[in-house]
Amino acid sequence: MGTDLASAQQLIIAIDGPAGAGKSTVARTLAGRFGLLNLESGAMYRAFALKALRASVAVSDSARLEALALDTEIRLEPTAEGNRVILDGEDVTALLRTPEVTEAASRVSVYPPVRARMVELQQMMGAMGGVVMEGRDIGTVVFPNAEVKIFLDAAPEIRGERRYAQLGPAPTVPAEEIVRDLRERDERDRNRAESPLKAAEDAVIIDSTNLTLDEVVNEAERIVRQRLG
Ligand code: DC
């Protein structure tokens, strides 16, 4: 099935799925192969969580989180090394991968007003097309009309192992803890009332449990080419 697009440069590709399924690698590689911008929506929730932590707003204080979200500007700037994340004019890229921010991002992202603000910012960034955006609700909520929707999944043990391997040669956190945290965040993402993590009805599902990342990327590329006709 082809699309009416003049070229791949106008495409919107939505990549959703749980943590550790390979979304970032697939999104980055597809963006490179098709000349698109790669936008990581999770980094925006992380930046907002950092702002809440700095302001000592509790992750359970929905009223203050809402007020804070309305007063927040977050921009992603794609570079060869990945997205630079600009929070209210400050480059916070290096501050977003700590366990504290990871945990807080998972918690603040359950609130509808927080999501509404992030979705608004994401839609503005993708308005002209030409983007691969990865996250949890891109194909269902942010860009329901995306030309390509891919839902990447994998067994939780495999996703935990991949995350553990990313920590480098001598991780300070035990593997079991990584898997446990990942499962907890998954549960929250899949079961929240607002925009839970789930595949869009028209998404192509890739289960990467028994695939190498190369195989996943090639499959994703095949799906995009098929859509382009
Ligand atoms: O993809 P990530 O690990 O950087 O995402 C951080 C958190 O943000 C994750 O716990 C779920 C949330 N998130 C979300 O709710 N919706 C998105 N589109 C992206 C991330």
Per-domain residue ranges of the chain: 1-36+131-229, 41-129
Calculate the CA 54 to chain-centre distance. 23
Substitution candidate for ligand 1 out of 26, 109, 111, 187 with most atoms within 8 A of CB: 109
The rounded Å distance from CA 171 to ligand 1 centre is 23
Rounded-to-10 torsion of CA 7, 8, 11, 15: 160
Are 126 and 175 within 8 A, CB to CB?
no
pLDDT at 171: 80
Tell the burial category of 4 from Cβ atoms under 10 Å away from its Cβ (0-12, 13-18, 19+).
exposed
pLDDT at 218: 97
pLDDT at 5: 56
In whole angstroms, what is the distance from residue 92 CA to residue 85 CA?
A: 6
pLDDT at 10: 86
pLDDT at 119: 98
pLDDT at 174: 87
Which CATH superfamily, name and number, covers 41-129? P-loop containing nucleotide triphosphate hydrolases (3.40.50.300)
> Is 41-129 the same fold as 1-36+131-229?
yes
Residue 165 neighbours by CB under 8 Å, 6+ apart: none
In whole angstroms, what is the distance from residue 121 CA to residue 109 CA?
A: 14
pLDDT at 3: 54
Q: Tell me the one-letter amino acid at 178.
A: I
Ligand 1 site, residue 45, Cβ cutoff 6 A = yes
Which residues, given as ranges, of the chain have pLDDT below 50? 1-2
pLDDT at 4: 54
pLDDT at 37: 95
Tokens of 208: 């990467």
* Max CA separation in the chain (angstroms): 51
The rounded Å distance from CA 74 to ligand 1 centre is 14
pLDDT at 22: 92
Name the architecture of domain 1-36+131-229. Answer: 3-Layer(aba) Sandwich (3.40)
Residue 157 neighbours by CB under 8 Å, 6+ apart: 179
